Amino acid sequence: MISCNRMTKRIAVTGGAGFVGSNLACMIARERPTCSVIALDNLKRRGSELSLGHLAAAGVEFVHGDVRMEGDVASLGAVDCLIECSAEPSVLAGQDGAPGYVLDTNLTGALNCLEHLRRQGGEMIFLSSSRVYSMPALTDLPLEVRGERFEITEGATGSGWSATGITESFSTAGPRSLYGATKLAAEQFIEEYRAAYGLRAVVYRCGVLTGPWQMGKVDQGVITLWLARHLFGGALSYIGHGGEGHQVRDLLHVADLYDLIAPRLDGIGTEDGQTYNVGGGAAVSVSLRELTRHCERLTGNTLAIGAIPKTRANDIGYYVTDNAKVETRTGWRPQRTLEETLEDVHRWLVDNRTLLEPILKDGET
């Protein structure tokens, strides 16, 4: 393995022109100017090409490649650490009867990254998803409406869940979506590579990540989408769960994720083999209806939000991260409040309106 000296590290970020990958790559390069940071991306998602200028300005080397292609991953060369951010991130992926891309990108891509590290050395930071958890178990959570949101029924608790949120021991049995299945399968292969080849890795099961440079769509990136439609115009609907907008998620600013990952860049150490739930937690959670109120306040605009009562496959009413394990073991906890996070995204939209409006106004969803 290459030396893990902070001044000489070589760090690769797959999915490096995507929202999470590009933000992490730029933050790493700016904080560690003597390190070599490489971003690999196939630029498939609309808007990812806009990241290229930011990567270059930060001193990140960009490689146009695809994690599905073993040779493209091999072109990264030897690295100290590979941050696996590449993914088809939509929970709806494959429901149109064409699962090939999500399976190849999320699972074959992860396997290609593991194989590269097995051959060349280096550690892995793997960004997984809260979507590895069981859909039946999530839909069975006892929920009640309080104000403008769903909450866990007062006093209720169960295996891997409570009013504090979902822990790592929550059920992964049963279906979860093709996207979630690929992420869970990749986690399992990481365990096999650790056992068989001594590969060192840590897994972060992320909830809803947000922040500047996220190209929001209906199926992924809802915070940006909601703010952009309020600012630029366009249609929005509360989909599922009666069409009332009570469904709740917690949000994690990508800069908070970086704060968690940054110490691991000097070596995973005792975090090897750990799996963590990572999110904003209950204090940084919001329902869609509450999000609408925040967007109205920030933009000064009001939209007539439609209602589609029928719940789609894999839509859940409530997911909030219980960060107790990662907080206890590492001392990390999110620093950005809900208001700060939303204001940061809004400021980015306003400052880059000319560039972003054609992409995020009532166009592709």
Residue-averaged pLDDT of the chain: 94
Q: Is the pLDDT of residue 7 over 70?
A: no
Q: Is the pLDDT of residue 6 over 80?
A: no
Angle at the Cα of 71 from the Cα atoms of 79 and 127, rounded to 5 degrees = 55
pLDDT for the residue 333: 97
Average pLDDT over residues 73-83: 97
Q: Is the pLDDT of residue 353 over 80?
A: yes
In whole angstroms, give the CA distance from residue 281 to residue 333: 9
pLDDT, tens digit, 9 for 90 and up, residues 194-224: 999 999 999 999 999 999 999 876 657 899 9
Percent of the chain predicted with pLDDT > 70: 96
pLDDT, tens digit, 9 for 90 and up, residues 262-289: 999 999 999 999 999 999 999 999 999 9
pLDDT for the residue 5: 46
**96 or 331, greater pLDDT:** 331
pLDDT for the residue 1: 39
pLDDT for the residue 91: 84
pLDDT, tens digit, 9 for 90 and up, residues 288-327: 999 999 999 999 999 999 999 999 888 999 999 999 999 9
Q: Is the pLDDT of residue 25 over 60?
A: yes
pLDDT for the residue 4: 42
Q: Is the pLDDT of residue 241 over 80?
A: yes
pLDDT for the residue 8: 58
Torsion of Cα atoms, 210 then 131 then 141 then 326, to 10°:
-70
Listed range (46-50, 73-77, 226-230) with the worst mean pLDDT: 46-50
pLDDT for the residue 89: 82
